[in-house]
Amino acid sequence: MAARKKKKTPARKTAALKAKAPSPVFSSGDVVFRLNVKTEGLEPILGAAYLMTDVSYVRLDGAASRTIEVRLEPKAGPEALPPKVLAKRFADELSTQRLRWAIARQNVLVREFIAEQAVLLASGRLEQAPAPAQDGAADALSEEQRAEIEKLISEVEDEIRTMNEKKAASDPKNIKASWEEKQEAGKTRLGEGGA
C-alpha cells in the first residue's frame, strides 16, 4: 500500500514556525548568535539584524546557504542595552521576522496582481475589472429558470399592452400624444389610406 502523504495541518505549520529559539553566546560584551539559515530563513535573519542597528553594531559572518553568525556589539549612549536585553530583543525580532516574511511570501502574488490591476485602471486600459466569480455561478440557465424568465417577460408584455389600451380608452382624441407620436400616427394613416 502506498504511503499516505501527510497533510500540512495548521498544527504542523505552527510547529514549523515555532522553531527552537536560538541561544545567544555572550563574549566580551558582545552577543553572538549562530543561526541555521534553513531553519530561520535568510531574509528573517537579515531583517532582524537590520532592526538591531539602532542599538548595536551588527556584524554578519558565514555562508548564506548554511549558518550565519550574527554578532551584536552594544552601542554606547542613552539607549544602550545590556547584553542580555539585547539578546532577548534580537530573539524577539527574529521570531517576528519569520512571521512577517511568511505572510509576505504567501501574499506576494495577490499584491502584485492588485498593483497590476491598479496600473491598468489608472492608465485607462482596464475599463471594467472582471467581477469576482459568485459561488457556483452557472453560465447556463436551467429549464426551470428559463421557464420562469419567459413567464415574467410575458407578464410584463401584457402589462404594457394593457397600459397602452387603457391610455387609448382614456384619451380617445389622442390629446396626450407627443409631437413625435402624432407625426408617426399621421404617417401611418396616410400609408393606410393611400394617396
Partner 1 sequence: MSRLTSWTRSDPASAGHLAAFNFRRVEPGWYLLTNDWGKFLMLDEGDFRRLMTGPINSADALYPRLEAGGFLRERLDFKALASSYVKKNSFHWFNGPSLHMIVVTLRCNQKCQYCHSSVVDPSRTDTDMDLETARRTVDFIFSTPNPTICIEFQGGEPLLNWPVVKFITRYAQAKARASKRKLIVALVCNFTLMTEDKLDFLLEHHVSLCTSLDGPAELHDKNRPFLGGGLAQAKVVGWLEKIQRRCAGEPGKKHYLPGALMTTTRFSLPYAREIVDLYVSLGMDQIFVRPLSPIGYAKRVWKDIGYGTEEFVSFYEKALDYILELNISGRSKIMERMALVLLTKILKGEDPGFMDLRSPAGAVLGCLAYNYNGQIFVSDEGRMVDHQGDPMFLVGDVAGNSWSEVVDHPTTKACVAASTLDNQPMCWQCAYKPYCGAEPVFHYETQKSVWGQMPSSAWCRSHMGQFDVIFRKLRDPKARAVFEEWMERDQCRWQENEEIAAGEFMASGSVPA
What residue ranges bind partner 1 (CB under 8 A)?
10, 13-14, 17-18, 21, 46-47, 50-54, 89, 91-93, 95-96, 99-100, 102-104, 106-107, 110-111, 113-115, 117-118, 121-123, 129-132
Give the nearest distance from C-beta 74 to partner 1 in angstroms: 14
Give the nearest distance from C-beta 5 to partner 1 in angstroms: 17
Cβ atoms of residues 64 and 97 within 8 Å: no
Give the nearest distance from C-beta 137 to partner 1 in angstroms: 16
Alpha carbons 140 and 131: distance in angstroms, whole number:
17
Helix axes 10-17, 83-122, angle to 10 degrees: 130
Would you give the end-to-end CA distance of the chain in angstroms? Answer: 95
Alpha carbons 159 and 94: distance in angstroms, whole number:
72
Q: Considering beta carbons, is residue 92 or 159 the nearer one to partner 1?
A: 92
Q: How many other CB atoms are found less than 10 A from the CB of residue 19? A: 14
Alpha carbons 100 and 93: distance in angstroms, whole number:
10
Q: Considering beta carbons, is residue 14 or 142 the nearer one to partner 1?
A: 14
Alpha carbons 91 and 44: distance in angstroms, whole number:
11
Q: Considering beta carbons, is residue 91 or 177 the nearer one to partner 1?
A: 91
Give the nearest distance from C-beta 32 to partner 1 in angstroms: 19
User: Which residues are 62's β-sheet partners?
Assistant: 68
Q: Considering beta carbons, is residue 130 or 136 the nearer one to partner 1?
A: 130
Q: Considering beta carbons, is residue 106 or 170 the nearer one to partner 1?
A: 106
Give the nearest distance from C-beta 14 to partner 1 in angstroms: 5
